[in-house]
């Protein structure tokens, strides 16, 4: 089944971000990096994440946004608390999500990884709807990119040790990986 058209997942809402560029020559996608984000911190459902990823964030709209002025970031996908998947960057482009990162002794994870952001915070459990959407999306991506094995689906904290903590201790890796194994 072809779930993708020109790099866009057909099941997602498409909100193109300018914060992407070409994959490096010869790039072989072999990782999924799971992130968590909330703007303002620990607040959900507002317009700020979409605005951040699309360079439309007005930092004057909330005091917690001041440190984000000029920040240029994105992810391939964002999963809202209710389970809706939004795609910001097509699979044909590199998203800017992992920053300074290393995995398996190789730096620059953005050069080979797809980024999935979950609306959440380190101190807050994720929703069943988010896990359902994440499993469905991850399986679609793994079918398209067979180099993405279970051991290569990692958290932002795994590739940016000491710098990032997401998706945090409330993310249920055991349940998520068990559901992925059961899906095949």
Catalytic residues: 117
Handedness of CA 92, 72, 42, 171 (dihedral sign): positive
Selection from 27, 35, 8 nearest residue 111 by Cα: 27
Q: Tell me the CA end-to-end span of the chain in Å, nearest whole number.
A: 15
Which of helix, strand or coil describes residue 107? strand
Cis peptide before 40 (omega within 30 of 0): yes
Which residues make Cβ contacts (< 8 Å) with residue 110, sequence separation at least 6?
A: 94, 95, 96, 97, 98, 99, 101
């Amino acid at each position: 089944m072809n779930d993708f058209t020109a790099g866009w997942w057909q099941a997602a809402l498409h909100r193109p971000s300018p914060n992407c560029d070409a994959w490096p020559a010869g790039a072989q996608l072999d990782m999924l990096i799971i992130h968590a984000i909330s703007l303002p911190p620990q607040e959900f459902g507002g317009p700020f994440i979409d605005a951040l990823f699309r360079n439309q964030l007005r930092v004057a709209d909330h005091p917690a946004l001041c440190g984000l002025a000029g920040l240029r970031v994105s992810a391939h996908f964002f999963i809202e608390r209710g389970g809706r998947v939004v795609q910001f960057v097509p699979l044909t482009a590199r998203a800017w999500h992992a920053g300074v990162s290393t995995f398996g002794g190789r730096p620059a994870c953005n050069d080979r990884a797809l980024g999935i952001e979950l609306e959440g915070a380190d101190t807050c459990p994720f929703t069943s709807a988010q896990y359902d959407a994440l499993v469905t999306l991850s399986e679609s991506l793994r079918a398209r990119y067979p180099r993405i094995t279970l051991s290569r689906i990692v958290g932002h904290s795994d590739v940016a040790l000491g710098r990032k903590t997401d998706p945090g201790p409330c993310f249920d890796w055991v349940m998520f990986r068990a559901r992925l194994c059961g899906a095949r």
